[in-house]
Structure 1
Amino acid sequence: MAHRISATNSLLFVIDVQEKLAPAMSNGETAIANNAKLLQAANLLEVPSLVSEQYPQGIGHSVKALSNLIDETCVFEKMTFSCMGEGAIQQRLAQSGRHQLIVGGMETHVCVLQTVLDLLDEGYQVFVVADAVASRTMDNKELALARMRQCGAQIVSTEMVLFEWLGRAGTDQFKQVLPLIK
C-alpha cells in the first residue's frame, strides 16, 4: 500500500456539504472553501469525485459554492449516515477502480466518521482532509478525527492532497492548481 496520495489512484469523496446543514457548522466556511479547492483541483487533474447528499428534500442540496464544481452524475442521495449503506455509492466506488479515498464533508462525527469506518473495513486507504471537514462543535470534530486516525485513516490537509496529487512543480498542471494554493 502506497503512503503517498496518487492522482491516478485516488477519488475525492465529498460528504453532505448541504445548504441547511452548513450554516450550523463550526468553521463551516473553511471546510466549504477547502472542499471547493479539492473539487477544482480534482477536475483539473482528472481525479474522479463522488458527492453525497443526506435527505436533500429536508436538508437541501450541496451548497452553491460547490454545486457548480460538481458533475451531477457524481451526486448520490442517501438516507443512511454511512455512505456505504447505499448500494449505488458502493457500486460507483467499485467501478472507479480507485483505492485511495480523499474525504471531506459534514458532519465529521456522524456521516464522515461512519463512512470512513466502513471504507476502512472494506479495505480502502482513506485520507480524511482535516481542514475540509466540519461538525457543529470542535470537540465532536476532534474526537472523530482522533477515532478515525486510531482506526487507520490518515489525517491530512487540503494542501497536502494538492501537492501530492501534483507530485512536481513546473508542469502545466502545477501552474493551473497553484492559484488554489495562493
Structure 2
Amino acid sequence: MLIRAQDSVLIVIDMQDRLVPAMQAPARTIRNTRTLLCAAAEVGVPVIMTEQYPAGLGATVPELAAVAGGATVLPKMHFSCMEDDGFAAAFRGTARKQAVIAGMEAHICVVQTAASLIEEGFDVFVVSDATASRTLESEQACLARLNASGAGIVTTEMVVFEWLGKAGTPAFKKLLPLIK
C-alpha cells in the first residue's frame, strides 16, 4: 500500500532537548525528521508533535521546532499518544487513515503509539531512519514487533517520494535538495 499525502498525518514523538543526546544516531534521526517535516509542509500533510513530560525532558529540539511551522505540539504523560485525550482528538480530527511515525524512544512511545493506532484500524508506517532508542537492540526489537503487527517499516526517502508521487513538480524540485 502506498503512503499518500492526502491520507497521511505525520506524527513526531518526543524529540526533546534532554532525550535526543541519549539516543543511537541522534544526528541521523534529527536530519531525517527535519526532511519529513519539510516534505509534510510542502505536500499538505498535517503534523502532530508530542513532548513527553516537557518539564523534565525539555521542549522539542530547536532544529525541528524551527521547521515545524503549523504543527500541533502537544504535551503528554502517556507512553502511547493515543491514550492522551488531546492527541487522540487531534489525530482523529484530521479524518485521515494513515499515520507516518518518527520519534523517540522507539521501544516505548513509538511502539505503543503505533500498536494503539493499528488496534484502531489505521494504516501505520514507522520511519526507521527517523526513529531511535538508547540501544540498537531496543530499536530493532521495536521495528521487528511492529512489522509483525502489520506496520510498514519505511525510510525517509520512501515517505517523501510516495508523498510526491511524481517527478518534475514544483514540490519535487523544492524537496530534491533535502534528499541529495
TM band (smaller chain): over 0.9
Structure 1 residue 81 corresponds to structure 2 residue 60: no
Unaligned runs of 5+ in 1: none
TM-score (norm 2): 0.98
Structure 2 unaligned segments of length 5 or more: list them.
none
| Cα distance between partner residues in 1 of 2:142 and 2:71 | 29
Scaled by the length of structure 1, the TM-score of the pair is 0.97
CA drift at 1:72: 6.2
Query: Match of 1:62, SS?
Result: coil
**How far apart are 1:82 and its partner, in Å?**
0.6
Aligned to 2:144: 146
Q: Measure how far apart 1:9 and its partner are.
A: 0.6
Cα distance in 2 for partners of 1:72, 1:162 equals 19
**Residue 45 to residue 61, structure 1, CA distance change in 2 (3 Å):** same
Name the CA distance, whole Å, in 2 between partners of 1:168 and 1:71.
25
Q: Distance in 2 between matches of 1:97 and 1:179?
A: 31
The runs of at least 4 aligned residues of structure 1 exceeding 2 Å deviation read none
SS at match of 1:117: helix
Deviation per CA, 1:52-105: give whole Å up to 9, x if none: 000000000100110112246600000011101111111111110111110000
The alignment partner of 1:113 has SS state of helix
Q: Which residue is 2:42 aligned to?
A: 44
Encode CA deviations 1:118-157: one digit per residue, 9 max, x unaligned. 0100111000000000000000000110000011100000
The alignment's C-alpha RMSD in Å is 0.9
| Corresponding residue number in structure 1 for 2:163 | 165
- Report how many residues are paired: 180
The one of 87, 90, 98 aligned to 2:88: 90
- Read off the aligned partner of 1:138 and give its amino acid letter: L
Equivalences for residues 56-75 of structure 1 within 5 A: 56-71=54-69, 74-75=72-73
Distance in 2 (alpha carbons) for counterparts of 1:93 and 1:72: 15
User: Does 2:157 correspond to 1:179?
Assistant: no
